[in-house]
Structure 1
Amino acid sequence: MAARILRLRLALIVGAFRGPRGHGVRAWLGAAALAAVVVAAAGMLLTLRGASDDAARVVTVLGGAALTASFFLAPLISGVEDQLDPRRFSIFGMPAPALALTTGAAGLVSIPILAAVALGVCLVAVWAAHGVPVIIGVVAVIIGVLTCSLLARVGMATAALVLRDRRSRELSGAFAILVIVVAVPASVFLASLEWGGEVPTQLTQAASVLAHTPLGAAWAIPALVPGAGADLFWAIVISLATLLVLAAVWLWLVAHMVSTAERPVAVRERGGLGWFAVAPGTPAGAITARSLVYWLHDPRYVANIVIVPVAAVLAIIPPLIAGVPLEVAVLVPLPILALFFGWLPHDDLAYDSTALWVHIASGVRGSADRIGRIIPVMLIGIPILAIAVPIAISIHGRWAALPAMVGACASLFLSGLGLSSIASVVAPYPVSHPGDSPFRQPQRSGSRAGTAQALVLIGSLVVSAPALWWAWLAVTGRVEFSAAALWGGLAIGLVVLIAGVAIGASAFSQRTGRLMEFAESA
Structure 2
Amino acid sequence: MAAHVLRLRIALLLGALRGDTGHVVRRVIGLVVLVVATAAACWAMLTMRDAAIDEVRTVTVLGGSAVTLGFALAPLIGALEDPLDPRRFALFGLPRGRLAAVLVVAGLISVPILALLAVAVCAAIVWADHGVPVVVGVVSVLLGVLTCSLFARVCAAVASLYLRERRSRELSGVFVLVVLVVVVPVGVFLASLEWRGAVPPQLLEAVDALGLTPLGAAWTLPGEAADGSHAWLAAVVAVATLFALGLLWIWAVHRLLTTTERPGTGRERAGLGWFGVAPGTPGGAIAARSLVYWFGDRRYVVNALVIPVAAAITVVPLLIAGVPPEIVALVPVPFAALFLGWLPHDDVAYDSTAIWMHISGGVRGVSDRIGRLVPVLLVGVPLLAVAVPVATSIHGRWAILPALTGVCAALFLSGLGLSSISSVVAPYAVSRPGESPFQQPQRTSAGGAVAQGVVMLGALVLSAPVVWCGWLALRGDAEAAATALWGGLAIGLGVLVVGVVIGSIAFERRGSRLMEFAEST
In structure 2, list runs of 5 or more residues that go unmatched.
none
Give the corresponding residue for 2:257: 258
Cα deviation for residue 352 of structure 1 reads 0.9
Retained in 1: the 8 A contact 2:165–2:265?
Answer: no
- Which residue does 1:127 correspond to in 2? 127
Which deviates the most, 435-444 or 210-219? 210-219
Question: In 2, distance between residues paired with 1:136 and 1:499?
Answer: 53
Question: Unpaired segments of 5 or more residues in structure 1?
Answer: none
Q: Which moved more, 1:108-117 or 1:481-490?
A: 481-490
Structure 2 distance, partners of 1:29, 1:265, is 30
Alignment of 1:11-30 (within 5 A): 11-30=11-30
User: Once structures 1 and 2 are overlaid, which stretch shifts more, 193-202 or 45-54?
Assistant: 193-202
Match in the other structure for 2:71: 71
Between stretches 187-196 and 380-389, larger displacement belongs to 187-196
CA contact (8 A) 1:77 1:176 kept: no
Alignment-derived partner of residue 300 in structure 2: 301
Deviation string for 1:247-289 (max 9, x for gaps)? 4433343333234322354586444333333333333332222
Distance apart, 1:337 and its partner CA: 0.8
Please show how residues 116-195 of structure 1 align to structure 2 within 5 Å. Answer: 116-193=116-193
Show the counterpart of 1:496: 495
Tell me which amino acid in the other structure corresponds to 2:24: G
How far residue 33 of structure 1 moved from its aligned partner, in angstroms, is: 3.4
Whole-angstrom distance in 2 between the partners of 1:352 and 1:292:
13
Q: Paired residue for 1:329?
A: 328
Instruction: Give the equivalent residue in structure 2 for 1:420.
Output: 419
Moved more, 165-174 or 337-346: 165-174
Provide the residue aligned with 1:514 in structure 2.
513
Aligned residues with identical type, % of pairs:
60
SS at match of 1:94: coil
When normalised by structure 1's length, the TM-score is 0.90
Q: Supply the distance in 2 between the matched residues of 1:413 and 1:213 (Cα, whole angstroms).
A: 31
| 1:387 partnered with 2:386 | yes
CA distance in 1, matches of 2:273, 2:197: 50
1:374 matched to 2:373: yes
1:41 aligned to 2:41? yes
- TM-score, normalised to structure 2, is 0.90
Q: 1:518 to 1:240 in 2, by over 3 A?
A: closer
Map of 1:351 onto structure 2: 350
Aligned twin of 2:245: 246
* Structure 1 segment 466-505 matched on structure 2, within 5 A: 466-505=465-504
User: Which residue number in structure 2 is paired with residue 311 of structure 1?
Assistant: 310
Partner residue of 2:457?
458
Residues matched between the structures, number: 521
Deviation at 1:197, TM superposition (A): 5.0
Cα root mean square deviation, aligned: 2.8
Contact kept? 1:221, 1:236, Cα under 8 Å: yes
Q: Does 1:56 align with 2:47?
A: no
Q: CA deviation at 1:517?
A: 1.5
User: In 1, are the aligned partners of 2:166 and 2:278 still within 8 Å (CA)?
Assistant: no
Distance 2:426 2:21 in 1: 52
CA contact (8 A) 2:77 2:175 kept: yes
Equivalent position of 2:108 in the other structure: 108
Deviation string for 1:435-464 (max 9, x for gaps)?
Answer: 112222222223222222222222322333
Letter in 2 for 1:121: V
Distance 1:476 1:268, change over 3 A: same
Is it true that 1:404 corresponds to 2:399 in the alignment? no
SS in 1 for 2:402: helix
The code of the aligned residue for 2:456 comes to L
CA separation of 1:504/1:244 partners in 2, compared to 1, >3 Å: closer, same or farther? closer
Letter of the 2:169 counterpart: R
Shifted more, 457-466 versus 392-401: the winner is 457-466
Residues 32-86 of structure 1, C-alpha deviations (whole Å, 9 max, x = no match):
3333432333233223322233333333334333333332222223231111222
Higher mean C-alpha deviation, range 417-426 or range 512-521: 417-426
Q: CA deviation at 1:433?
A: 1.0
Q: Is the 8 A contact 1:55 1:196 kept in 2?
A: no
Cα offset for 1:353? 0.9
1:157-186 Cα shifts (integer Å, max 9, x gaps): 222122122222333434443443344334
For residue 165 of structure 2, give the secondary structure of its aligned residue in structure 1. Answer: coil
User: How far, CA to CA, are the matches of 1:373 and 1:301 in structure 2?
Assistant: 13
The alpha carbon displacement at 1:397 in A equals 0.8
Alpha-carbon distance between aligned partners in 1 of 2:254 and 2:499, rounded to the nearest angstrom: 53
SS at match of 1:81: coil
The CA deviation at 1:112 is 1.0
Range that drifts further, 71-80 or 94-103: 94-103
